[in-house]
Structures are given as C-alpha cells and as structure tokens.
C-alpha cells in the first residue's frame, strides 16, 4: 500500500464524498437529450476534410482533462498522447501514412497519436495507491501488452467523445504503419502507437452518405 493512500477515517470520508458526488450529479441530470446523443454518436461522423481554423492548446488540454476521467482497469491509464501540429511533425508522420491518408493529415489542424506505454504498470503505485498491483504485470509481457492495448483503445474512444463534447470534429485513422510512427516519435521508449485521430472543424462538403450498420438482432443476443 502506498503510504500516501487515504486510510481509516480519511478513506471513509473519501468514499463518502465520491458516493455523494455521483448522487448529486444524477439528481441534476439523469440522461442526455436526443440532440446531445446525436452530437456524440448517432449523428456524428468521421471527417476527412477540414476548415482552415486552428485548434488551441487550451482545447487540447481540455480534451485530455475530460479523457483522463474515463474508467480503465485498475485505473491503469496506459494511453499517451502526442499532438502533431507543426509542419515538421506532419512531415514525420506522413512517412507512416497510406497515400490516401496523407492529405487528410496534412490539412487537419491537429493529428493526435493515441499511443500506450507497455510498462504502464510501473505507475500503479501512484494510480492505484491502496494496493500494490505491479505483480500482476511484472515479467508478463503479453498480459501487459494486451491490457495496455485494450485500455488505451478505450481511452481513445473517450478522447473522441471528449473532442466532440467541446465542439470539435474527429477523424480516426488506422491506415498507417505503427512501426514507422514508433520509430519517428517513440524510439528508445516503452511507448508504442495505437491509432491516429485528426481533430478540427470539419468541412462537411467532403462527407458522403452514412454507411449501413447492423441491427440489434444481427449481432446481439441474450444469455
């Protein structure tokens, strides 16, 4: 146990405060409205073209501050983010892209590299202070990788929702070489890339019709 973790009466007070905070929020709002759900998911789109309108560092910090509050297993928070804004950074990133994705990245105000630290577990005493869980991952490379990949992907989803929540549009990209991105941006570290996400204010004139989705009965069942 981390010596800085709350104990005894302090722990009880911390738990009580957390429970009251959730009850207070639920008393104010029980669910989002149709338009809000539309903004986040049902009418939101992945975008490919962008207005010439900047995204500020303050907005990126706000997105992260929302994203970091999303749940991960053992509060492990393995995701790491690189915000590629400069021309030099875009040129480095372009080396890894499939040709069709180069103009999407070059014209986007910001491209976020959503990555993860394979040795995230070394930070667990700080993030999960009431019990030392490092033994669950030490010398277990595959388990550590799978946990980091799964939870950073989850954090990437939170990231996109956070960006939409503050009024930005998103364009996730998987058509690139992770190996090249890792060599360009994470060489000599334990961090590796997961996926890319363009951020900005979309030029909707590039959109095409929404593609089909499965119905509930096609992919869902009860057990």
In-domain check, residue 31: no
Phi and psi for 112 in degrees, rounded to 5? -90, 130
pLDDT digits (tens, 9 = 90+) for 97-111: 999 999 999 999 999
What per-residue confidence (pLDDT) applies to 101?
A: 97
11-38: average pLDDT: 93
In-domain check, residue 93: yes
Q: pLDDT above 90 covers what percent of the chain?
A: 93
What per-residue confidence (pLDDT) applies to 8?
A: 82
Strand boundaries in 101-176, DSSP class E: 110-117, 169-173
115-133: average pLDDT: 96
Q: CA 161 to CA 165: how far, in whole Å? A: 6
What per-residue confidence (pLDDT) applies to 1?
A: 63
Q: Whose structure tokens read 């991952």?
A: 137
Cα angle, residue 27 at apex, residues 22 and 29 outer, rounded to 5°: 95
In this structure, what token pair is assigned to residue 14? 């911390």
pLDDT digits (tens, 9 = 90+) for 131-168: 999 999 999 999 999 999 999 999 999 999 999 999 99
Beta-carbon contacts of residue 51 (< 8 Å; ≥ 6 apart) = 200, 201, 202, 203
User: Residue 213 — pLDDT band, cuts 50, 70, 90?
Assistant: very high
- Select the more confidently predicted residue: 159 or 130: 159
Strand boundaries in 64-149, DSSP class E: 79-84, 110-117
In-domain check, residue 17: no
What's the number of domains the chain is made of? 1
pLDDT at 5 over 90: no
32-55: average pLDDT: 96
Q: How much is the mean pLDDT over the chain?
A: 96
In-domain check, residue 119: yes
Q: 157, 22, 130, 20: which is closest to 75 by C-alpha?
A: 130
In-domain check, residue 179: yes
What per-residue confidence (pLDDT) applies to 137?
A: 97
Q: Are 97 and 176 in contact (CB under 8 A)?
A: yes
Burial of 157 from C-beta contacts in 10 A (0-12 / 13-18 / 19+): middle
CB-side exposure of 151: number of CA atoms within 13 Å?
A: 24
In-domain check, residue 109: yes
Question: The domain spanning residue 115 has which CATH number?
Answer: 3.40.109.10
In-domain check, residue 120: yes
In-domain check, residue 25: no
User: Residue 130 — pLDDT band, cuts 50, 70, 90?
Assistant: confident
Structural domain for 148, as ranges: 46-203
pLDDT at 51 over 80: yes
In this structure, what token pair is assigned to residue 134? 């490092």
Q: CA 133 to CA 73: how far, in whole Å? A: 11
Q: Are 111 and 204 in contact (CB under 8 A)?
A: no
Q: pLDDT above 70 covers what percent of the chain?
A: 99
pLDDT at 31 over 80: yes
């Amino acid at each position: 146990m981390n010596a800085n973790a709350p104990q005894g009466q302090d722990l009880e007070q911390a738990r009580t405060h957390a429970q009251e905070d959730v009850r207070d929020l639920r008393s104010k709002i029980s669910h989002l409205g149709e338009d809000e759900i539309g903004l986040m998911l049902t009418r939101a789109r992945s975008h490919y073209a962008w207005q010439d309108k900047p995204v500020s560092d303050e907005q990126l910090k706000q997105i992260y501050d929302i994203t970091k509050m999303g749940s991960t297993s053992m509060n492990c928070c393995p995701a790491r983010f690189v915000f590629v804004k400069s021309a030099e950074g875009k040129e480095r990133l372009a080396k890894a892209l499939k040709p069709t994705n180069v103009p999407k990245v070059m014209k986007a105000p910001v491209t976020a590299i959503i990555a993860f630290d394979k040795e995230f577990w070394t930070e667990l005493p700080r993030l999960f202070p009431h019990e030392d869980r490092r033994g669950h991952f030490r010398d277990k490379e595959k388990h550590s990788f799978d946990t980091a990949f799964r939870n950073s992907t989850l954090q990437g989803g939170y990231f996109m929702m956070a960006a939409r929540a503050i009024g930005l549009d998103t364009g996730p990209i998987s058509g690139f070489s992770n190996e090249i991105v890792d060599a360009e941006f994470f060489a000599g570290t334990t961090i590796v890339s997961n996926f890319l996400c363009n951020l900005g204010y979309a030029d909707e004139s590039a959109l095409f019709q929404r593609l089909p989705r499965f119905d509930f009965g096609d992919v869902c069942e009860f057990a």
